[in-house]
Amino acid sequence: MPILPIDSGRYGSNEIRKIFEEENRLRYQLNFEAQVALSQGKLRMIPLKASREIARIARSNKITTAKIKELESISEHDTASLVQAISEYCSPTTRPWIHYGLTSNDVVDTSTSMQLKDAFKVIEPKIFKLISLLINRVRKYDLLPSVGRTHGQHASIISFGLKFAIWANELSYHIERIEEGKKRFLLCKTLGVVGTGSLMGSKALDVQDKVAKTLGLYSIEAATQVIPRERLAEVQFIISLIGSSLDKMATEIRNLQRTEIGEVEEPFKKGQLGSSAVPVKRNPIKSERISSLARILRSFSNIAQENISLWHERDLSNSANERFTIPMGIILLDEMINNMIRVIEGLTVSSQRIIDNINKTKGRIFAEFILEALVKKGIPRMKAYESIQRVAFETLVDDRDFRDAIMKDPSIGEHLNKNELKTIFDPNTHLAASSRIIKNVIKRTEQIRKNYKPH
């Protein structure tokens, strides 16, 4: 069974998990060794015949994780065991040229970049899909007025479609962050023990450029024994940032699904159980899972920043945790995106409940617009504010209709006629710039898709 640094089978898609399986990690490392040898052979740094033999052995299926583990049980060094395994299948004249001029982290860091490159080929199309699903919701609900809440309280009117537009817009920026960041964190390094090029001399950079180009990576400009950990910290930050956006979406859905609000509901398939004890419950478990996993991703970002400061040209204080945080971060993000796609695809929206909630405060949600109308009539703002607040609080205590109380109050009602009040208390007149904002978001997401076509 594939070994992963995560609970086997529960989280992440098979396609993303496969990238980080132990056997595939070995294949990435062997491919790197093959490409380095071939590049060195072309530059006549090592014998051409030896370079081809190294590449042939590295790309064969002869070297297995079982063999590496057997050798590592003696050497207690995984990369040295990799080199030793290649050596056992090569001729005596080729063996001196295996892993020539390299150090362990040339292999480890570059193969990590190779994994991340393939992982983003899986992640980015899913983000694009989620953006498309959100835009579909935007178009459907752009003219549906709903309650806009601040501090958990009814504040004003918002287009329900604008909620989805804001989410889609932020996801489009995450695509930009990934694409713009690739040149900084999808890196190839062949600069040896302390980043000087070591045994390869000045041609080390030529080797590195050739290998990077072949692997679809970027050549690191300067490094110690390791690629600077600021680069991996950026990856983890982007992962955690995307996770936090998904958490924001999930939190809103969870809140809107509360019994007291009831504006949306996660998909609930036939046979699904909401509670082992309460038969009537339909819990937002997918959104709750997203919020839970987002907390882990944010902690990984902190760990990645802790890894930036290493002793001199390197130490091992970053190594052990990165074996977990890098693959786990990607796998958990994949799980979160998959869950959110399912949620948005099957999300039930109750338009009637949304309208009912606008009326829940018996008109008090329109206080902002009454204030605006009075100010335009020449009434000092604070005087108008105090009058509206007084009436609002009185109707709250007595559970009376706010519109009727406004009309009857002499300090307010005498300044507003019936047509003005009708407009003020119509939620459809208060969507303001929502449609224009939504059009701009749709235009931007389309441009992002055009600029960065999903793989």
Q: Can you state the percent helix, strand and coil of the chain, rounding each to 5?
A: 70, 5, 30
DSSP for 111-135 reads: HHHHHHHHHHHHHHHHHHHHHHHHH
Q: Which residues are catalytic?
A: 151, 275
Residue in the block written with tokens 């590295």: 58
Distance of CA 369 to the CA centre of its chain: 38
Distance CA(158)–CA(264), nearest Å, equals: 16
Count Cβ atoms below 10 Å from residue 426 Cβ, excluding itself: 13
CA atoms 403, 409, 414, 415: torsion sign? negative
Distance of CA 196 to the CA centre of its chain: 35
Query: How many helices (H) does the chain have, and how many strands (E)?
Result: 18, 6
Residue in the block written with tokens 């950990």: 229
The β-bridge relationship of strands 348-349 and 264-265 is antiparallel
User: Which amino acid is present at 453?
Assistant: K
Distance CA(233)–CA(226), nearest Å, equals: 14
Cα–Cα nearest to 40, from 51, 28, 56: 51
